[in-house]
Amino acid sequence: MSRLGALIRRETTLAWGRGGGPLVTVGFYAGVATLLPLAIGPERERLAAVATGAAWVALALASLLSLERLFERDYEDGALDLMTLSETPLELTSAVKCLGQWIATGAPLALAAPVAAIGLGASAALAPLIFACALLGGLAFAFVGGIGAALSLGARRGGLLTAVIVLPLFTPPVIFGGGALDAMASGLPWQAAFALLAAYTAAAVALGPLAMAAACRNALS
C-alpha cells in the first residue's frame, strides 16, 4: 500500500472512532431535527418554511463535534512531529486528515440531511439537491474546521476556541447551500448559489491545507 493510501486509511479509521465517529454527529443532527418541531410547533406549513435552513444550521453544528481532536491527538503523542519530518508534505498530510474526517462524519451527515429535511416538511423533490449541497458543504466544513483545529493546538479549551474560529467561516456555505435549496423550492434558478457553494468548497480544499500546515508548524516551534 502506498504511503498516501496508508495515511488516508489511518485518518479515516481514527476519525471514525474519534469522539464516537458518525454515531455522535448523526445522533446530534437527529436530535436537533427532533427538537425543532417542539420549539416552533408541529404545523406543517411553518416547519416546511424553515426545514432547509434548519437542516443546514444543524449540519454546521454537528460538523463541529469532532473537530477538536483532528490534530490534538497527534500533537499530544508526538505523531505530529513525525508527520512534519516525513517525506510527505505536511500540507498534503493535513488535506488527507480533513478528507478522512469528511469520509467518516461528513458523508454520513450528507446521507442524513435529506431524511431530516423531508421529515421537517421539505419537499421530497429537493432530496437530490439537499444531498449534493450537504456533501459539498460538509467538505468545506471539514477543511475550514481543520484550520480552526490547527490554530487551537495546545490551547486550553481548544474545542471552544475552534468553534469561535470556524463558526464565522461556516456562514458562507450555509448561506449558499440554503439559498440554492430555497431557490429550487420556489421555482427560481438555483445554479448560481450552488456554483458559489462549490467555489467556496474548492477554495477551502486548496487553501485550507496551507493554513493548517503553517499553524501546526507554529504550534510545534
* Distance, CA of 135 to CA of 203 (rounded, Å): 15
Mean pLDDT, range 184-188, rounded to an integer: 86
In sequence order, what are the residues at sequence separation of 6 or more whose Cβ sits closer than 8 angstroms to the Cβ of residue 173? 56, 60, 136, 137, 140, 141, 197, 200, 201
pLDDT surpasses 80 at 170: yes
pLDDT band at 208 (very low <50, low <70, confident <90, very high): very high
Q: Which three cell numbers stand for residue 207?
A: 487553501
Taking residues 88-111, report their average pLDDT: 87
CB 54 within 8 A of CB 3: no
C-alpha to C-alpha distance for 216 and 221, rounded to whole angstroms? 9
Grid-cell match 444550521, residue found? 57
Domain total for the chain? 1
Distance CA 129, CA 146 (A): 25
pLDDT value at 80 more than 80: yes
| Average pLDDT score over the chain | 83
Give me the pLDDT at residue 116, please: 81
Which residue segment(s) compose the domain that 176 sits in? Answer: 3-220
Find the mean pLDDT for residues 115-142. 87
For 22-75, write each residue's pLDDT tens digit: 777 788 878 877 777 777 776 777 777 777 777 788 788 888 877 777 888 888
Predicted pLDDT at 178: 85
Q: What is the pLDDT of residue 157?
A: 66
Taking 80 as the threshold, does the pLDDT of residue 4 lie above it? no
Q: List Cβ neighbours of 83 (8 Å cut-off, separation of 6 or more).
A: 74, 90, 93
Q: Which of 38-52, 73-87, 124-138 has the lowest mean pLDDT?
A: 38-52
